[in-house]
Structure 1
């Protein structure tokens, strides 16, 4: 029923008028302004402009968020390496010193990237629109009206990843993929994190027993997953309105609690592989790696991956049995079972 109804709605929308002028995007407009212009173009049946404005809005939002995350992450790392001015930690002086240094660093970073922050500062409402993938709710129809069926299908899918119960858009996706140009196997999630497809390729290589490819993809996916989680946590460190006027210490405590609750949601937020939830996504990297390294004869790496996996699930029966098997091998030393240290590498402030 939903598919028939939604297809009829799509068919009833007017085709793109040939006389409508395609506007030039103003590079100085914020993602919020571009979003509103995209909505206006959609309501005016100007689907070419709808595509232009929403594409530009999504790109500017990505630049804003990436730059903001990188500023916070790099400043936090820089401050952690500084020695305190005073050796005595009187009344938590070291904490407040680091906080002030971090603040100055972030202000400097914002100034250095004034072309981003000066033009694109956004509020929580606007941020929620983009995090909820609302542009794609319009984009899939605008792409369809401009006969770009592959992008229409991928836009609908991108929205469905965040809203899996939206039956009308699910019906639209099925309709779009009925066109020869939109092969279902080519549909992608435009907002998927970098690690997602590496993980998928790694698990596919595991099924095909291509152990070198398993290691290659899973190692890269692991680093990018941890980086994505770090970025997610950094994004949580934004403004907070408590709705009242607390004293100094309650103000710090309330804001800290707000950020902490947000950061605790990052694991769940990143546990989706294009809409399919995997609660053990991070530790499962080590599961794939330990077996692939074993098949490649790299026993030390296999044992380290096992030890890393057991940090998450210390009572996992199968993995504990693997430990006993590895220990029975003459080439394996007890000291091999040390959890791995993963380096995230250096962050580039340029998105």
Structure 2
């Protein structure tokens, strides 16, 4: 019944938007073919652009275009070979710029580097900014899914399901799985570890002495980050252990039951993405026989250039040094030395 109610709400909204769009000339324009949209989503134009720029002897721009293409197609062997070739001609690292990077991506990378350097206060601030920018990008992606076309009823949530995957960043040749959960993961440890007097200023992390243990607000933020993370990965044994740790010490930090609730924006995002996946599963199981759900043969994606499973094997071919360091969040709550000083 829940699926049917969701579809009913979706269809009513589709009908309302269709009526509104009939009155606006811009929505009468022909919408690009589905294959063209898929090509742009996979950044295929950059595959041709980098080669054209190379032929024009604009190597710096060719490097940026090739790197931008590889962010969505990290296992594309031909482009990787071109990038290796460019390394023999110019200082490639200086021009490895993702021309379509989302605003939250460099902020996230900066937050991780600050965390690894022990500056937990600055890391938490940057990660909060990255999280806010991600949510804005997600809402913008959902709005863009409606497009300048007449809605086709319940099929319109299909592109919306792609937003989560489309916004997943590529760091050092690897896609960051469960990106939103990962940001809450870092926030939990950054808030717990940051000292009352400020960040570590890039110094290595050390056991926190009794006089410099986290402030109450920091712990509250840490607990809410744990609860938010658990929305996306409730079976994570380490986070379950951390939650038990915080509950055991709740009186010490004056924590109330409401402090153990996930953050509102995390709940909203989780519910939204879960509902979209549920509707997609329902449609795939019960609605595929409808003629309206059939896809024309000429709209099938061209699989010749799709990345293979090789993108998940071995180390990346670029930014290798960074990927070896960024994925180093702690696995347990506190160090043994910390526990011994309490």
Question: What's the TM-score, normalizing by structure 2?
Answer: 0.59
Q: Does residue 212 of the first structure (1) align with residue 121 of the second (2)?
A: yes
2:337 alignment partner in structure 1:
none
Give distance in 2, aligned partners of 1:131 and 1:96.
26
Give distance in 1, aligned partners of 2:159 and 2:135.
16
SS at match of 2:146: coil
Match of 1:150 among 40, 46, 60: 60
Match of 1:202 among 96, 103, 111: 111
Match of 1:172 among 70, 78, 82: 82
Evaluate the alpha carbon distance shift between residue 96 and residue 262 of structure 1 in structure 2; reply closer, same or farther with a 3 A threshold: closer
Evaluate the alpha carbon distance shift between residue 107 and residue 230 of structure 1 in structure 2; reply closer, same or farther with a 3 A threshold: farther
Match of 2:168 among 260, 265, 271: 271
Evaluate the alpha carbon distance shift between residue 144 and residue 120 of structure 1 in structure 2; reply closer, same or farther with a 3 A threshold: farther
1:126 alignment partner in structure 2:
36
Match of 1:338 among 261, 269, 273: 261
Match of 1:281 among 172, 179, 195: 179
Give distance in 2, aligned partners of 1:207 and 1:263.
34
Match of 2:191 among 278, 285, 293: 293
Shift of 1:295: 2.3
Match of 2:45 among 135, 148, 169: 135
Greater CA radius of gyration, 1 or 2?
A: 1
Deviations 1:299-331 (A, max 9, x none): 111111111111111221111221222221512
- Report which structure shows greater RCO (CA 8 Å, sep ≥6): 2
Evaluate the alpha carbon distance shift between residue 122 and residue 96 of structure 1 in structure 2; reply closer, same or farther with a 3 A threshold: closer
Alignment gaps of 5+ in structure 2: 1-7, 195-214, 269-342
Deviations 1:158-212 (A, max 9, x none): 11223333222111111223334x3325402212222222111111111011112
Match of 1:190 among 99, 107, 110: 99
Deviations 1:53-100 (A, max 9, x none): xxxxxxxxxxxxxxxxxxxxxxxxxxxxxxxxxxxxxxx7x8776545
Give distance in 2, aligned partners of 1:219 and 1:105.
37
Shift of 1:107: 5.5
Question: What's the TM-score, normalizing by structure 1?
Answer: 0.58
Alignment gaps of 5+ in structure 1: 1-91, 242-250, 345-351
Evaluate the alpha carbon distance shift between residue 136 and residue 300 of structure 1 in structure 2; reply closer, same or farther with a 3 A threshold: same
Give distance in 1, aligned partners of 2:84 and 2:17.
49
Contact 2:224-2:263 within 8 A present in 1 as well: yes
Give distance in 1, aligned partners of 2:75 and 2:92.
23
